[in-house]
Copies of this chain bind each other. A is one copy, B any other.
């Protein structure tokens, strides 16, 4: 997204529904597939797999599979992935600070005077 710089959203899947949340879930440390499914309430395994694969491809996380029974796979943020936490925090901060303004605007819009012209 955003003009004037190479568009982030189409390039890395940050504008999508899950990538940001996954990064936030991995922030404290490595997590297993099933451990990610819980906080990401209701994500289907298909979508989680797709997201993790894309993030691995882009170097944001590593995937470590242990040859055990039952199988165990751990996902962990790379330094690159971890560096995303900073701009993410800026976005979260904006939301916290301005969400109510936005909702007010939306509410006011519903009851606005009919647009002239």
Contact = CB atoms under 8 A, between A and B. Distances in A.
Interface of A: 1-12, 14-17, 19-21, 23-25, 39-40, 56-59, 63, 65, 67, 71, 80, 83-84, 86-88, 90-99, 101-102, 104-106, 108-109, 115-117
B86 A94 contact: yes
Contacts of A23: 2
A97 B80 CA distance: 10
A63 B117 CA distance: 11
A87 to B, nearest CB: 4
Number of copies: 2
B12 A24 contact: no
B117 A5 contact: no
